[in-house]
Structure 1
Amino acid sequence: MASSRGWWAGLRGRAGLGGEGPTAIARQAAALLAISGLVAVLALAIGSPRPGTLVAIAVTDLAAAVVMWLLPWSRWPPLAPVALAPLALAVLGFSTWAFGGVAAGTGPFFVLFFAWLGLHFPKWVTWALSPVAAVSYVVPLVLTGQPPDVVGSVAGLIPVAVGVAMVINVRVEAQRRALVELAGVERWRRALTSAVAHDVRSPLSTIQLFLEMLRDDDLPPDKRDQFLESALRQSARLGRLASGLLDLDRVESRGTLRLELTPVGLRKACQEAIGFLNVPGVVVEVPPELTVTADPQRLEQIVVNLVGNAAKYGAAPIEITAGPAPGDLIWLGVRDHGAGIPDPDRLFARFGSYGESPGAVGLGLWLVRELTRAHGGEIRYEDAHPGARFVVTLPAAT
């Protein structure tokens, strides 16, 4: 059984029937027409009162299938195969008439036709073609003089076929969304692994260097204290990295973060945060009297992520400004002087993108939004002309 499935999968791949591109979609329609032509040949072999008509149907179906198969669909838009629908319905109508109005001969192909629509096209295509399908089904029945109950069967067949298309379309859309999500998770995993390796290696190397220097007995006391302080700062940086990774898990699994709120001087917090980034051209224009109620570590993450994004995707100078906002809030803005963001709709979405960097994880601004909301604030994007500006609001210290 497994070998037969593998054989069929290999055949389908070589024939180009798999996938979702225009070529695969058109070739699937060609396969359905070819099957219809073979059914006509089979009916001819077992005897029919209209052999000439069946020959015409078989030749038309097979010729149309060959043309559909060979056309350069990859050069045309994704919806181009919709143009095949009228031809397919015309062939089905003609086949119904050729079979003497026996709807059972072509009814399954109407259902297959709508299944093909639901598999590959938006819902509006199915709704738009359903009246055309009803006409192509009813007219041959009327022309062959079928009784009203047979003609009225269109009220059952077409709605069922449309329902099949809708069910398939819903399932396909759900699978496509799941695949997009999985691709985002995989992209996040690769980029996060690379980022963590880089962020861990740098402070570890610094700590190792300082520890090796501290082994020197002739090191002056002031230098010894300086190296110890630097090593402690780098170890604290590693701790913050670990806490940031735990934050991601807490937000995703429980939707909440535990904050240690305390009055924090905003100017000093911004200056300390940018000290970890080694980014030139950052200007802090925050009044020294502004104080917010925040978790110092989470506030540092907010500033580091915003300034890091501005440095990565924007251009100097990077300006950090702040001021009072309505509702006992304080706004904090980070602006760069780059090209701005042409499409900001998904900036704060999980796996959203700030820029076009292939190494972008797509979690920085999402985490900033979650951290800001946990404090009772919000974040917004503004076009700075030139550049991009992100503004967060935090509660003022009382």
Structure 2
Amino acid sequence: MQNGPFRLLGTGPRAAARQAAVLFAVAGLLAVIGTLNDPARTGRLLTVAGCDLALATIGSLLPWRRLHRHAPALLGLAGFVVLGFSTWSFGGVAAGTGPFLVLLYAWAALHFPRWILTAYALPATLAYLLPLVVTGQPPLVLGSAAVLMPIALAVAFLIEAQARRLRDERDRLSRIEQWRAAMINTLAHDVRTPLSTVHMALEELAETATGPDASMIGAALRQTTRIARLADGLLDLQRIDSTGHLKLDRARYPAHLLVKDVLTYVRDDADVRFEVDEDLTVYVDKQRFEQILMNLVTNALRYGGPPVIVGFTRDAGGDRLSVRDHGPGIPDDLRPRLFGQFAVGGDQGVGLGLWIVRQLAAAHGGQAVAEARDPGVAMVVTFPLPP
């Protein structure tokens, strides 16, 4: 309903016209049903139904996107004319005209500015009053317009103000999102060129370095490689945010070696241990797996307490990667929200690490959860079994 050619929800001229088409189609159907209750006015009621269905057809089929954005407001004017004819057809009974008039005003308030709602006041009042005058209704009935029209206009103004505020907020969020996406793309792209230069310089130094220098240069090379992968990860996560999809390059890897390689990026003085069966083979994207594990270990070292224990096991549900710390733990009410964007954060970070873990786990077809331990907490990521 939202994405097809007859989309009803949304904003813009096409959505406005489609919604009006639905209103007129319902009004036409009610007029047809009205012939069963009042056979004497069958001809007039069928004329009303024909007019309503004609407006519904126009609202559905015209290429409204090519016209002015306020063009569908003309459907409202035509609707007031049909409302007046409908009141006359029912012999001056406005029981159905009043509510539908307010409904038309509410529809217009969702899509058009206040000046159009004000311009509607005269034709709407005439559409309501003239049939009552022509059919000789008493002054008390005529006086109902003095109550109905201000109410219709007030309701429309309230809806228009709220709709305008929501549109402004949506536009503001859209601009923020565009700025954020541009910033991430720029950061990820611009960091590659200087990083490549640093990496090449370190490789040249590594060829002649010996002893402690070689060890330090090797560590620096590993970290520059990691930063490059993080830049690629930023771009991938931006694609996840905008399209919801991330292409993976999955293959079979020994879990023991995967974990061991990732932990070489952890500082030497960190109390991190791993318990992984050397015979376990997992089916993952190696680069994304490294991002997942590195984020979890870094998070455990930053917010938890030593020792940090990395485990990898298999059961009927899949392969389970767990990173447990022995810190103070996490409150029960916070654990379900840990993997949201900016869920935690603070002075030491912005709260994106666990959100990245969840996105990458979902891309693999798995999930990420936080499980309570005594003491501490375990971050658990599940991966589907190898095919």
TM normalised by structure 2 equals 0.51
Say if 2:225 is the partner of 1:250. no
Partner Cα separation in structure 2 for residue 209 and residue 171 of structure 1:
57
Say if 2:250 is the partner of 1:261. yes
Q: Is residue 332–residue 392 contact of structure 1 (8 Å, CA) maintained in 2?
A: yes
What secondary structure, in the 3-state scheme, does the structure 1 residue paired with 2:294 have?
A: helix
Aligned to 1:295: 285
Partner Cα separation in structure 2 for residue 257 and residue 237 of structure 1:
20
Deviation of the 1:177 alpha carbon: 5.6
Aligned to 1:172: 165
Cα 1:161–1:283 shift into 2, 3 Å: farther
Amino acid aligned to 1:300? E
Say if 2:384 is the partner of 1:395. yes
1:184-241 per-residue CA deviation (whole Å, 9 max, x = no partner) reads 77689889999999999999778756744755xxx65x78976775565345324313
Partner Cα separation in structure 1 for residue 150 and residue 379 of structure 2:
56
Partner Cα separation in structure 2 for residue 287 and residue 169 of structure 1:
59
Say if 2:267 is the partner of 1:272. no
Aligned to 2:294: 304
Matches within 5 A, 1:1-398: 147=140, 149-150=142-143, 153-176=146-169, 179=172, 208=201, 211-212=204-205, 214=207, 230=219, 233-278=222-267, 280-327=270-317, 329-336=318-325, 337-340=327-330, 342-344=333-335, 346-349=337-340, 351-357=341-347, 359-360=349-350, 362-384=351-373, 386-397=375-386
Partner Cα separation in structure 1 for residue 226 and residue 308 of structure 2:
23
1:104-125 per-residue CA deviation (whole Å, 9 max, x = no partner) reads xxxxxxxxxxxxxx9xxxxxxx
Partner Cα separation in structure 1 for residue 185 and residue 293 of structure 2:
19
Partner Cα separation in structure 2 for residue 307 and residue 227 of structure 1:
22
Cα 1:293–1:388 shift into 2, 3 Å: same
Length, aligned pairs only? 248
Partner Cα separation in structure 2 for residue 197 and residue 276 of structure 1:
23
Amino acid aligned to 2:157? V
Deviation of the 1:394 alpha carbon: 0.7
RMSD: 4.2
Partner Cα separation in structure 2 for residue 182 and residue 338 of structure 1:
40
Aligned to 1:96: none
Amino acid aligned to 2:222? R
Partner Cα separation in structure 2 for residue 382 and residue 182 of structure 1:
37
Amino acid aligned to 2:334? D
Q: Is residue 214–residue 227 contact of structure 1 (8 Å, CA) maintained in 2?
A: no
1:306-326 per-residue CA deviation (whole Å, 9 max, x = no partner) reads 222222333333222232233
Partner Cα separation in structure 1 for residue 187 and residue 233 of structure 2:
15
Name structure 1 gaps, 5 residues minimum: 1-117, 119-145
Q: Is residue 316–residue 338 contact of structure 1 (8 Å, CA) maintained in 2?
A: no
Partner Cα separation in structure 2 for residue 326 and residue 167 of structure 1:
55
Amino acid aligned to 1:287? D
What secondary structure, in the 3-state scheme, does the structure 1 residue paired with 2:306 have?
A: coil
Q: Is residue 202–residue 221 contact of structure 2 (8 Å, CA) maintained in 1?
A: no
Cα 1:334–1:261 shift into 2, 3 Å: same
Cα 1:276–1:388 shift into 2, 3 Å: same
Partner Cα separation in structure 2 for residue 385 and residue 191 of structure 1:
38
Q: Is residue 346–residue 352 contact of structure 1 (8 Å, CA) maintained in 2?
A: no
Amino acid aligned to 1:304? M
Aligned to 1:130: none
Partner Cα separation in structure 2 for residue 259 and residue 387 of structure 1:
32
Deviation of the 1:383 alpha carbon: 3.6
Amino acid aligned to 2:339? F
What secondary structure, in the 3-state scheme, does the structure 2 residue paired with 1:153 have?
A: helix
Amino acid aligned to 2:370? Y
Amino acid aligned to 1:343? L
